[in-house]
Amino acid sequence: MNDNVPEGELEAFNGQLATQDLTKVKLAVEGMSARFKAVVGDNPSLIRPDGGVDQITVSGAYSSKAEWMQDMATPEYKTNPAFRDKIMQKLSRSKF
């Protein structure tokens, strides 16, 4: 079980991603993104080596469905949760 998302909700979310139905995936990612932003905000802070903190704005989005599908087809997508998170964040900023 994940500490932040109940197991049943996580399984439902992953099921939506596995469908590869763009509408379902975008809806699931936008929902998870909104949930995340409600808890931590949407401007992450970076701690500099000097101890200061910088606010950053995350950028980057897919320009096409084919680009998104290419990332989902990589072996890393199946094995690396951090990579899947990056894909979800990038997808949530995409406008296709």
**Model-level pTM?**
0.46
Whether residue 81 lies inside any domain: the answer is: yes
> CA-CA distance, 25 to 15, in Å (whole number)?
9
Whether residue 39 lies inside any domain: the answer is: yes
Whether residue 23 lies inside any domain: the answer is: yes
Residue ranges making up the domain that contains 32 = 7-92
Can you say whether the dihedral through the CA atoms of 53, 58, 27, 12 is positive or negative?
Answer: negative
Chain segment 56-92, per-residue pLDDT in tens: 444 478 888 888 888 888 888 889 888 888 888 888 8
Residue that is written with structure tokens 């599908």 in the block: 69
* Total structural domains within the chain: 1
Whether residue 29 lies inside any domain: the answer is: yes
Whether residue 59 lies inside any domain: the answer is: yes
**What CA–CA distances, in Å, run from 61 to 10, 52, 87?**
24, 29, 9
Chain segment 9-48, per-residue pLDDT in tens: 889 999 998 998 999 999 999 988 888 877 776 666 666 6
Own/partner contacts of 19-23, CB < 8 Å, gap of 24 or more, are 20/69, 20/72, 22/65, 22/68
Whether residue 1 lies inside any domain: the answer is: no
